[in-house]
């Protein structure tokens, strides 16, 4: 039987599993299996050739029992409503596990940003915000960057929202440039959070990070910083990295300058040159004999058909949804310590929370405070997850880190819904 790779079916399956283990109230589960609000918009945009092209966009508010919906906006040619629904569910668990005052949401537009110029991207970003403008707000739903959206995209969107409401509302969107009251530290906070988790997990698994070899899938905001920070913070050796076209493997370790050069000149890190470097595919990168594997690109990378080939001891899910439920079980059986996305990559939204809190209070922090608070929150999430898992082990129930993290996150949302009288 082939595996169901629909991300929303996967999100529901993961939730069902946790609900069963924790014996979640059936009424609460029924609420949590579906998003609270789903908006589909069709957005006409005048393109550079003078013709109007219509794009379809989504914004899903999965759950807001604990606070405004929160989550990024993706620009992706293969975006689907089900992907956005899944990602909005994962945002709900992410914010809850981190114990920050947000629910979960997500947005997406079906478009190919690689084929669009800056003015088209600006026009699309503004038109999307006009289309969902009534739906968002600093206390309602707070978007942020995700796949193929950047601080610049957030700046245009923030500006358009200010046009709609007639005044500046910096807290309507996070991941803004620092000039527009974005937060120092937010840019690399997803990867930085992942590094704090890596530090804790390595201690637990007795991996010496100074000697560890690492493969990173993805060269976007998450992957690029995961690569630079693993080197600068721990002195680890990153031997492989990739982008959507393919990757490069060098047993001697990779050099940032040369990677950027290859990316800039040829459009892909694949063409990195050094004595021992060889081109590898994205699939092969996942199978490398390394200590730590960090998928930092997109969903469904480690599946039932390749999970057996993963040789890493520690797998850090810095992307959203890179490991399918069947792969999860296989990794677990094979003794791979796989830490779930909504823990590992929560540094992004924790950083967004700091930015939003600063925007709302108009009191701005210094960068060291940003990182210290991020470390505190994400390290606590890791420890909470491990402690809960241990308590199940003691009851002779072997649950994965993902299920443990789900139980914590779902329990908090369920309790909030209960207190509000939703069930």
* Contacting residues toward ligand GLU, per CB under 6 A: 70-72, 94, 144, 146, 174-175, 320, 345, 348-349, 352
**Residue 332 CB: number of other CB atoms within 10 A?**
18
Nearer to ligand GLU, 90 or 234 (CB): 90
**Residue 421 CB: number of other CB atoms within 10 A?**
6
Q: In angstroms, what is the minimal distance from the CB of 336 to ligand GLU?
A: 23
Nearer to ligand GLU, 71 or 340 (CB): 71
Q: In angstroms, what is the minimal distance from the CB of 204 to ligand GLU?
A: 24
Spatial CA neighbour of 285 closest among 276, 294, 298: 294
Spatial CA neighbour of 291 closest among 244, 245, 330, 239: 239
Tokens matching residue 252: 């001697």
Nearer to ligand GLU, 28 or 350 (CB): 350
Nearer to ligand GLU, 212 or 297 (CB): 297
Beta carbons of 314 and 207 less than 8 angstroms apart = yes
Residue 384 neighbours by CB under 8 Å, 6+ apart: 97, 408
Nearer to ligand GLU, 287 or 355 (CB): 355
Spatial CA neighbour of 297 closest among 276, 316, 312, 325: 316
Nearer to ligand GLU, 296 or 345 (CB): 345
User: Phi then psi for 296, rounded to 5 degrees?
Assistant: -130, 25
Cα dist. 50→45, 120, 123, 307 in Å?
10, 11, 13, 48
Nearer to ligand GLU, 21 or 180 (CB): 180
Q: In angstroms, what is the minimal distance from the CB of 71 to ligand GLU?
A: 5
- In the block, residue with structure tokens 């809960």: 388
CA distance 337 to 326: 15
Q: In angstroms, what is the minimal distance from the CB of 278 to ligand GLU?
A: 32
Catalytic residue from among 17, 70, 85, 106: 106
Cα dist. 223→19, 68, 216, 354 in Å?
32, 28, 6, 22
Beta carbons of 346 and 378 less than 8 angstroms apart = yes
Residue 121 neighbours by CB under 8 Å, 6+ apart: 75, 113, 153
Q: In angstroms, what is the minimal distance from the CB of 355 to ligand GLU?
A: 8
CA distance 376 to 353: 14
- Closest residue to bound ligand GLU by CB: 72
Q: In angstroms, what is the minimal distance from the CB of 162 to ligand GLU?
A: 19
Which stretch of DSSP H or E encloses residue 200?
Answer: helix 189-205
Q: In angstroms, what is the minimal distance from the CB of 320 to ligand GLU?
A: 5
CA distance 54 to 124: 10
Q: In angstroms, what is the minimal distance from the CB of 89 to ligand GLU?
A: 12
User: Phi then psi for 115, rounded to 5 degrees?
Assistant: -100, 5
Q: Is 106 a catalytic residue?
A: yes
- Partners of 337 in the β-ladder: 314
Tokens matching residue 118: 């800056």
Nearer to ligand GLU, 111 or 136 (CB): 136
Spatial CA neighbour of 29 closest among 42, 39, 18: 18
Q: Which residues are catalytic?
A: 106
């Amino acid at each position: 039987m082939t595996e169901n790779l629909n991300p929303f079916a996967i999100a529901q399956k993961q939730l069902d599993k946790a609900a069963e283990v924790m014996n979640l109230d059936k009424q609460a589960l029924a609420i949590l299996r579906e998003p609270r609000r789903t908006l589909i918009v069709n957005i006409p945009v005048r393109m550079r050739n003078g013709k109007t092209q219509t794009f379809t966009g989504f914004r899903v508010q999965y759950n807001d029992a604990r606070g405004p919906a929160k989550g990024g906006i993706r620009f992706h040619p293969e975006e689907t409503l089900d992907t956005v629904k899944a990602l909005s569910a994962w945002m709900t668990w992410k914010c809850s596990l981190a114990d920050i005052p947000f629910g979960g949401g997500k947005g997406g537009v079906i478009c190919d940003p690689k084929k669009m110029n800056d003015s088209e991207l600006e026009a699309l970003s503004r038109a999307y915000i006009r289309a969902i403008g009534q739906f968002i707000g600093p206390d309602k739903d707070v978007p942020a960057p995700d796949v193929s959206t950047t601080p610049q995209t957030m700046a245009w969107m923030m500006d358009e929202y200010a046009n709609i409401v007639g005044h500046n509302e910096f807290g309507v969107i996070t991941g803004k440039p620092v000039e527009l009251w974005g937060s120092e530290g937010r840019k690399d906070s997803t990867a930085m959070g992942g590094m704090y988790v890596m530090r804790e997990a390595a201690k637990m698994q007795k991996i010496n990070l100074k000697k560890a070899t690492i493969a990173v899938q993805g060269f976007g905001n998450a992957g690029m910083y995961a690569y630079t920070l693993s080197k600068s913070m721990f002195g680890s050796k990153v031997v492989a990295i990739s982008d959507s076209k393919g990757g490069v493997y060098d047993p001697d370790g990779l050099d940032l300058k040369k990677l950027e050069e290859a990316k800039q000149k040829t459009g892909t890190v694949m063409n990195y040159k050094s004595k021992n470097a060889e081109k590898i595919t994205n699939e092969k990168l996942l199978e490398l004999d390394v200590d730590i594997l960090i998928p930092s690109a997109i969903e469904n990378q480690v599946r039932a058909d390749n999970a057996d080939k993963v040789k890493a001891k520690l797998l850090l899910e810095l992307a959203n949804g890179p490991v399918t439920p069947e792969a999860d079980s296989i990794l677990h059986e094979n003794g791979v310590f796989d830490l779930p996305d909504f823990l590992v990559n929560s540094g992004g939204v924790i950083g967004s929370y700091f930015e939003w809190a600063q925007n709302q209070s108009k009191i701005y922090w210094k960068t060291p405070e940003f990182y210290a608070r991020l470390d505190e929150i994400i390290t606590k999430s890791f420890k909470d997850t491990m402690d809960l898992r241990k308590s199940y082990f003691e009851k002779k129930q072997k649950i994965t880190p993902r299920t443990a993290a789900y139980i914590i996150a779902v329990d908090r949302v369920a309790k909030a819904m209960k207190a509000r009288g939703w069930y």
